[in-house]
Amino acid sequence: MRALLRARRGELLRLNLSVVIPALNAAAHLPGCVAALGEVDELLVVDGGSADATAKVAEALGAKVIAALRGRGAQLAAGAAAARGDWLLFLHADTRLGQGWQEAARRHIAEHPDKAAVFAFVLDEPAWQARLIAAGVALRGRALALPYGDQGLLMSRKLYDSVGGFRALPLMEDVDLVRRLGRGRLRRLPVPAITSAERWRRDGWWRRSLRNLSCLALYALGASPERIARRYG
């Protein structure tokens, strides 16, 4: 009986996981993202028409490369449709999961199979602005239950299908899906999702953050993702 229980427990804690990474001109970021994952059951990189070596780099890293229409929503949906795992992890190409993510994922799968999970947002920059932005993202997550797409998203295939999956939106696809999940079906795991601060350094710390908040505000007011995408480029 004990042997049977141990076997069942081992089966329960085993990750049958497909990792889906939407990518566009991400050749420079993919090696770090994939290396931080370690060994996974299935790795899919969904290329939205990159002009660089994204597809070649992904193949060299052992990923299955899928071509899709440009747009993160369409790419995520295409990756999910091709994935074979019982659990799905959606991860941005410029994000690296911290040590211990697999153990945290195993615990979540074993203890909360009916819920989705995100990781803790961190920027790969020691500046105080980066720490303040990370604190703001954590506050937004607690207050509004709206994590950033940069935090990754772990959920079962069953839950993904039940809420309708990712929609082929040009922007706000993460907010759209998380709102359908609802606060009660979303947890935060105590492992960092370390995201490149390149966009903030390029656009300016506060300009980029205000741009993100403006997008969210417009969406909350009923503006279509297509209109928001046209306005912000």
Q: Residue 113: which domain range? A: 2-199
Per-residue pLDDT tens over the stretch 9-25: 344 346 799 999 999 99
- Counting the structural domains of the chain, the total is 1
Judged on CB neighbours under 10 Å (0-12, 13-18, 19+), 121 is buried
Instruction: For residue 209, tell me if it sits in a domain.
Output: no
Q: What is the mean pLDDT of the chain?
A: 91
Reduced to 3 states (helix: H, G, I; strand: E, B; else coil), residue 127 is: coil
Instruction: Kindly state the percentage of the chain with pLDDT values over 90.
Output: 77
Asked whether the predicted pLDDT for residue 5 surpasses 80, the reply is: no
Instruction: For residue 115, tell me if it sits in a domain.
Output: yes
Asked whether the predicted pLDDT for residue 78 surpasses 80, the reply is: yes
Give the per-residue pLDDT at 216. Answer: 85
CATH classification of the domain holding 183: 3.90.550.10
C-alpha span between 55 and 201 (Å, rounded): 26
Bigger pLDDT: 151 or 209? Answer: 151
Provide CB contacts within 8 A for 119, sequence distance 6+: 97, 98, 101, 104, 151, 152, 188, 189, 191, 192, 193
- Enclosing H/E stretch for 42: strand 42-47
Give the per-residue pLDDT at 233. Answer: 58
Instruction: For residue 82, tell me if it sits in a domain.
Output: yes
Number of Cα atoms under 13 Å in the Cβ half of residue 86: 11
C-alpha span between 48 and 54 (Å, rounded): 10
Asked whether the predicted pLDDT for residue 155 surpasses 70, the reply is: yes
Amino acid code (one letter) for 139: L
Per-residue pLDDT tens over the stretch 20-59: 999 999 999 999 999 999 999 999 999 999 999 999 999 9
25: left (phi over 0), alpha (psi -120 to 50) or beta: left
Per-residue pLDDT tens over the stretch 186-205: 999 999 999 999 999 999 99
- Per the CB < 8 A criterion, the answer to whether 122 and 52 are in contact is no
**What is the mean pLDDT of the segment spanning 168-189?**
94
C-alpha span between 80 and 17 (Å, rounded): 11
**What is the mean pLDDT of the segment spanning 150-163?**
98
Instruction: For residue 168, tell me if it sits in a domain.
Output: yes
Instruction: For residue 98, tell me if it sits in a domain.
Output: yes
Instruction: For residue 221, tell me if it sits in a domain.
Output: no
C-alpha span between 188 and 68 (Å, rounded): 29
**What is the mean pLDDT of the segment spanning 108-112?**
97
Torsion from C-alpha of 34, 36, 40, 43, nearest 10 degrees:
-20
Q: Which of 27-36, 145-154, 216-225 has the lowest mean pLDDT?
A: 216-225
Instruction: For residue 123, tell me if it sits in a domain.
Output: yes
Token pair listed for 79: 């990756």
pTM listed for this prediction: 0.90
Instruction: For residue 135, tell me if it sits in a domain.
Output: yes
C-alpha span between 191 and 126 (Å, rounded): 18
